[in-house]
Amino acid sequence: MVFSVQQVKYEFLAYIKEFDGTFSNWCVGISDQPKQALFEQHGVQPDHDPWLYKQLLTHRAARTVYDYFVEHLKAAGAPLSGDTNDFDCVYLLKIAPHTRLQSAHDAWSAREPDSASLENAIVRE
């Protein structure tokens, strides 16, 4: 099912509120294979960690959601690569000690969330 920007914003906000209302404890990203990004790239444990993804109509719509959470609400943003212009899925994960916020080839793993480490993890274009 394909969702609108407003639908995804609402669902992500409701999900965040349900588990942890601190936006800096969450990471958002864009992918054409969101499950692979969540579980392989970020190390999300599907049965234990809060995570969610939604497909939008266009990449521009997905980017609007991404920018809203990263720029406006100050959630961490998964790095965007230059070849993501056709990707239309946006995903959300709660940061945990075992999750990775950067690409899998980077050895950095998230620690207990604190404002200093999360501020460094935010990606802006």
Among residues 83, 76, 124, 82, which one has the least CA distance to residue 101?
76
Say if CB 110 and CB 83 are below 8 A apart.
no
Taking only the tens place, the pLDDT of each residue in 58-81 is 999 999 999 999 999 999 999 986
Domain ranges of the chain: 2-121
pLDDT in the model for residue 80: 81
Q: How many CB atoms lie within 10 A of CB 9?
A: 18
Tell me: pLDDT of 116 over 70: no
Tell me: pLDDT of 118 over 90: no
Tell me: pLDDT of 41 over 50: yes
Q: What is the Cα–Cα distance from 8 to 14, expressed in whole angstroms? A: 10
pLDDT in the model for residue 125: 33
pLDDT in the model for residue 122: 38
pTM for the model: 0.80
